[in-house]
Copies of this chain bind each other. A is one copy, B any other.
Amino acid sequence: MTQVTRGRLLIACPDQKGIVAAVAKFLFDLDANIAASDQYSTNVEGGTLFMRIEFDMANLPDRENELCDKFALVAEQYQMKWQYAPASRRKRMAIFVSKETHCLQELLWEWQSGQLHTDVAMVISNHDDARSLVEPLGVPFHHVPVTKDDKAAAESAQLALLGQDIDVIVLARYMQILSPAFLEHYPYKMINIHHSFLPAFIGRNPYQRAYDRGVKLIGATAHYVTAELDEGPIIEQEVHRVNHHYDAHALRITGRQVERAALARAVKWHLDDKVIVHENKTIVFA
Contacts and interface: CB of A to CB of B under 8 A. Distances in A.
A197 B200 contact: yes
Contact of A24 (B15, B25, B56, B201): B25
Interface in A32-48: 32-42, 44
The winner among A15, A34, A136, A247 for most chain B CB atoms within 10 A is: A34
B21 A33 contact: no
Contact of A244 (B16, B18, B281): B281
A31 B56 CA distance: 29
A interface secondary structure, majority: mixed
A158 interface: no
A43 to B, nearest CB: 9
Interface residues on A, range: 35 or more
A29 to B, nearest CB: 8
A283 interface: yes
8 contacts: A17-B31, A17-B33, A20-B20, A20-B34, A21-B25, A25-B25, A197-B219, A214-B280
Contacts of A238: 217
A244 B50 CA distance: 11
A228 B162 CA distance: 48
Contacts of A236: 216
Contacts of A147: none
Contacts of A214: 233-234, 280-282
Interface of A: 15-25, 27-28, 31-42, 44, 56, 102, 105, 109, 113, 115, 136, 197-201, 213-217, 219, 233-239, 241, 243-245, 247, 253, 257, 261, 280-284
Contact of A239 (B217, B280, B281): B217
Contacts of A241: 241
B40 A245 contact: yes
A239 B27 CA distance: 39
A283 B21 contact: no
Contacts of A38: 38-39
Given A20-B20, A200-B199, A214-B281, A35 B25 contact: no
Given A35-B41, A234-B214, A21 B27 contact: yes
